[in-house]
Each structure stands twice: as C-alpha cells, then as structure tokens.
Amino acid sequence: MKEYPDLPAVSNAPDELFANGHLWVQELVDGVPFRFRVLESGLLQFGDADATFDPGTVPLRLRSAARHVREHLDREALRAASQDVESVVFFGVAVEPHRVDYDWATTPAFVGTDVWRDDGGGFLPPDAVERVYERLGLTPVPTVEREVRARDVDPERYGIPDSRWADQPAAGVVFRDKTGHRAKVRTDELDSSSEVASAGLSPAELVADHVTDAWLDDLVAVHDVALEQVEFDELARLVVDRLVWEHADELRDDVASVDEAAFRSAVNDRIEPYLRDARP
C-alpha cells in the first residue's frame, strides 16, 4: 500500500508551495494517520503511517475509524469509479482528542485528506479529493478557503478558524496546492500546556465515569443498533471502540499498552444490566 504522505511544518515547506499558483487552506484535524483500500476480495485493508494491518487486527485506538469506514463507505460507487479498486489508497485522520475538544455527536471518526491512484493518477488535487470522499459517503477534511493566491498568503500569520466540530480554534491549518505540495501550521495559542490533562484512569474507572445509560442510549442510536437482536460481544466491542475514541486521553496508560481483556471485562459488567433492562 502507498506510504503515508509527508506533511511538513511551514518552516520546512517546499519553496514552490508559496511561490505561485493557488492554494487550498484546510483544517488540521487532531488525530493519528489512517489509511485504507478495498481489496479485490471486497475486504478492507487498513493501515497507519508506518504499517498496514491484516483483517481483524486493527489496533484499538484506530478501531472507531475503521468501523466508521466500514459503515459509511459506498463500495459500489468505488467499483463503478475504478476498475482496479486495489490501486486506490485513501488517506486521512483517525480523529482523537488532543488539543481540541470535539463534539463527538457530530464529529466523524475518520476524515479524508488525500487519495492516491497507482494507475498514473498519483495524488489527486484537493478539489478532486473532496468530490471523491463525498461521492463515497465519507467526510473530507473541512476546507477553509479555496483557490487563494499563494503569494498573498503569509502562513506564519494566517488566522486559524474555529474547528467545524468544536467551539474553539482548530488544531491548525494545512496549505495545499494542486501539484501535491503541502505544509501545516498549528494554532499558536495551543501549545503543549493546553493539551487535555490525563486523569490517570484505569479502564474500569473510565467505564464507570462515562458509560451511563444515557451514553449507551446515544451510542445505540448513532449506530442504529437493535437491542433486541444485537449480540452481547458485538455491543461490547462497539462500547470499547467508542469509549477509546472519545476518552483515550484520560487513560492512565497509553492506549497501545492497555489491557484489553480488563477493558472488556469492565464493559461486560456494565452493559449486562443495560441489555437486561432494555430487552422485553
């Protein structure tokens, strides 16, 4: 699978980016690199910036993004647009809370930033990327301005807008041209001291703090889960994935080292009475 595209800071931007032509300015979304493609078999292959994963082995912190893609991707539209689906790689961000307190009721777990075609197309320009993601049922990265004269842009003094999904400034902006040059600038006010402080919770404490009946009601509504039919293990996986997506920053340990068995045990204990009360 194509490697994840580099996104340098504006201090290391290629000279061509601001020399001439026009730029698209897009929101810099908090999260981690995430990519995928559809295999000829119909299975989805996911990856991050460094590796691709075998089916069913997506790391815990990326599972909400993977689930979002599975639930929303229009595979028929993709096959209609490309005879060789494996040649198309989709790049984006698995959204996470770091510097921005997103509204999780409206924020997608995956936001698309780039599309690569092996068949000579290379990286598509920003306007094409936006159209592709919308056609496939996925959310493209929010665009702040289109076709701005590059020579009129001072990237170090660019005013950072509010995030589309938060009542506060975005994590920054990304400048892109149609030839593939790009660079990012982060919000000046959001230094490392403004990141969400970890509450140092264990998985069991995280479940106790956040998995209320109202939270579960919202979860099953968003994912259109039929409580009368859903399997216990499937609901438990959904709860774990969503909880990590929204609150991984509060865990005592890095999410990559969390004891998932302990996490699932705490979730199982919590959802058992919820399902019992919800079912006739």
Global pTM exceeds 0.85: yes
Backbone angles phi and psi of 185, in degrees to 5: -135, 135
Q: Which CATH superfamily is domain 10-189 in?
A: DNA ligase/mRNA capping enzyme (3.30.470.30)
- For the chain, the domains span 10-189, 203-278
Residue keyed to tokens 């990590």: 244
Query: Amino acid letter at 212?
Result: T
| Residues 259 and 202: beta-carbon distance below 8 Å | no
By percentage, how much of the chain surpasses pLDDT 90?
64
Residue keyed to tokens 């994840």: 4
Q: What is the mean pLDDT of the chain?
A: 89
Tell me: the pLDDT tens digits for 39-59?
988 899 999 999 999 877 899
Tell me: the pLDDT tens digits for 60-80?
999 999 999 999 999 999 988
Q: How many CB atoms lie within 10 A of CB 231?
A: 8
What distance in Å separates the CA atoms of residue 213 and residue 233, rounded to the nearest whole number?
18
Average pLDDT over residues 274-280: 85
Q: What contacts 129, CB < 8 A, 6 or more positions away?
A: 112, 113, 114, 115, 140
| Residue 174 DSSP code | E
Determine the distance from the C-alpha atom of residue 162 to the mean position of all C-alpha atoms in its chain, rounded to a whole number. Answer: 18
